[in-house]
Structure 1
Amino acid sequence: MKIDSATIQQRYDRLAPYFDGIEAMMEGLFFRSWRKKLWASVEGQHILEVGVGTGKNFDYYPADARITAIDFSPKMLEQARRKKARKQVNVELELMDVQSLHYASNSFDTVVASFVFCSVPAPMKGLKELHRVCKPGGRVILLEHVISANPVLAGIMNLLNPMVVSLVGANINRNTVKNVQACGFSQVRVDERSSDIIKLIVAVK
């Protein structure tokens, strides 16, 4: 089931005031530890985070880096701006769609996204944009939930996907590792700590 960017943006705008509360349990049980692993792998002086959402990664930003963070949902970005002020985080926030980044090629040392490409209507287009703006030798690091390798669970995820997309605009059956491998990176590896449906992907340009 495919939905355009405007429709997904509207759904995230609607959820923005409640988003942290909705995901609080999963954040505490699972996602927080994965975010720590992701940001422990970040290197370089100029970092881009795509899909910043409400700013859930702010606590893990490296103190000595220049960080730019984008999101395509104005309401999610409002939440991030409030959190930025409250936590006094040094980050430049921009309203932008990952499918059409307004940055020059070879701009960033590392590009980061966490649980973003489930919601990008044209994921290959977005991934190619990450490849474009990453510097040669730089890394794109993605934390994503993907379709299971277990055929039974994968079948259930495929069955449920249309309902999940219609409710929140997120796909639960994406094969993001395969998509990244098709985007021209010199090296793509999946962190060995990854689980069946949560993958920490490191791609080198």
Structure 2
Amino acid sequence: MTNAGPSRETRRQQRTWRRHAETYDAKVAKAERSMLAGSREWIGARASGRVLEVAVGTGRSLPHYRDDVTLTGVDLSPEMLAIARRRATSLGMAADFQQGDAEALPFADGSFDTVVCALALCSIPRPDAALAEMARVVVPGGSVVLVDHIRSDVAVIYAGQWLLERFTIPLQGEHLTRRHLGEVQAAGLVVVEDERLRSGAVERIRAERPGATRFEAT
């Protein structure tokens, strides 16, 4: 866990989510019914034990977690967290929500059995730093579960993504052509599931931190 203050880019993202918190659900719902269909369910099926959701946002994954998980959600935006808290209350779900930076998670090493990050590495300024933090706070043998949109393998789609980025990056810090598999491996995690969907523009990854499993004494 680093004690450095947030970067200029991180502060910009905080301002962005302050502006868009109330409209986020409506904007993302269409994508989750189409190109991202099934992704929240995929996450929920792989999350167990003490679960940390990084960049939990408005809590759109909450309905898909099993009843026996202990959930902590962290997000840069207090406005997004307020919506997540309301969603948890409406679901009758106990969860601990905290404001924090994905690049400097406010948790001790090995605090969680599963770490989840959905549709956020595209806008976190330094995804490599965030993934290193996720690897740090998950227990040896625990899982890091990721879903995001990434650069497509199809040339015409990639060209469209690149053009859109001329607007999405300066306006809201959203990258459409990143890929994260190499960063996951660079963080010291072992990839055990990796699937590409929608012409390669959506990726789902489950990786594990090497070492004793969470059920073994250390």
TM-score clears 0.5: yes
SS of the residue corresponding to residue 149 of structure 1 reads coil
Separation in 2, partners of 1:90, 1:51: 18
- C-alpha deviation, 1:18, in angstroms: 1.1
Aligned twin of 2:19: 14
Q: How does 1:70-85 map to 2 (within 5 A)?
A: 70-85=74-89
Q: Relative to structure 1, is the Cα distance of residues 30 and 153 closer, same or farther in structure 2, using a 3 angstrom cutoff?
A: closer
Q: Which amino acid aligns with 1:103?
A: F
Letter in 2 for 1:76: M
Are the counterparts in 2 of residues 3 and 169 from structure 1 also a CA contact under 8 Å?
no
Give the structure with the higher percent helix: 1
- Single out whichever of 147-156 and 136-145 deviates more from structure 2: 147-156
Aligned to 1:29, which of 34, 39, 63?
34
Taking structure 1 as the reference length, the TM-score comes to: 0.92
Question: What amino acid maps onto 1:10 in structure 2?
Answer: R
Tell me, in whole angstroms, the C-alpha distance in 2 between the residues paired with 1:190 and 1:67: 24
Cα distance 1:122–1:142, how it changes in 2: closer, same or farther (>3 A)? same
Identity across matched positions, percent: 32
Measure how far apart 1:84 and its partner are. Answer: 1.8
Shift of 1:187: 3.4
Other structure's SS at 1:98 match: coil
- How many angstroms apart in 1 are the aligned matches of 2:112 and 2:131? 14
Comparing 20-29 and 101-110, the one that deviates more = 20-29
Task: Give the superposition deviation at 1:188.
Answer: 4.7
Distance, in Å, in 1 between the alignment partners of 2:189 and 2:173 is 28
1:110 aligns to what?
114
TM-score normalised by L of structure 2: 0.86
Inter-partner Cα distance in structure 2 for 1:90 and 1:70: 14
Structure 1 segments unaligned to the other structure (5+ residues):
none
Q: CA deviation at 1:201?
A: 0.5
Deviations 1:72-110 (A, max 9, x none): 011111111122222222111110111001111111111
**SS of the residue aligned with 1:203?**
strand
User: Where has structure 1 moved over 4 Å in runs of 4 or more?
Assistant: none
Alpha-carbon distance in structure 2 between the residues aligned to 1:3 and 1:24: 29
Letter in 1 for 2:152: S
C-alpha distance in 2, partners of 1:201/1:56? 19
Q: Which residue, out of 151, 155, 160, partners 1:151?
A: 155
Cα shift readout 1:33-83 (whole Å, capped 9, x = no counterpart): 11111211223x211101111110111111011110111011111111122
User: What are the equivalent positions in structure 2 for 1:139-178 lying under 5 Å apart?
Assistant: 139-178=143-182
Asked whether the equivalents of residues 36 and 202 of structure 2 are also in contact (C-alpha less than 8 Å), the reply is no
Displacement after TM superposition at 1:3 (Å): 6.8
Residue of structure 1 equivalent to 2:197: 194
Per-residue deviation, residues 5-49 of structure 1 (Å, max 9, x unmatched): 111111111001111112222223343511111211223x21110
Unmatched segments (≥5 aa) in structure 2: 1-6, 210-218
* Number of residue pairs matched by the alignment: 202
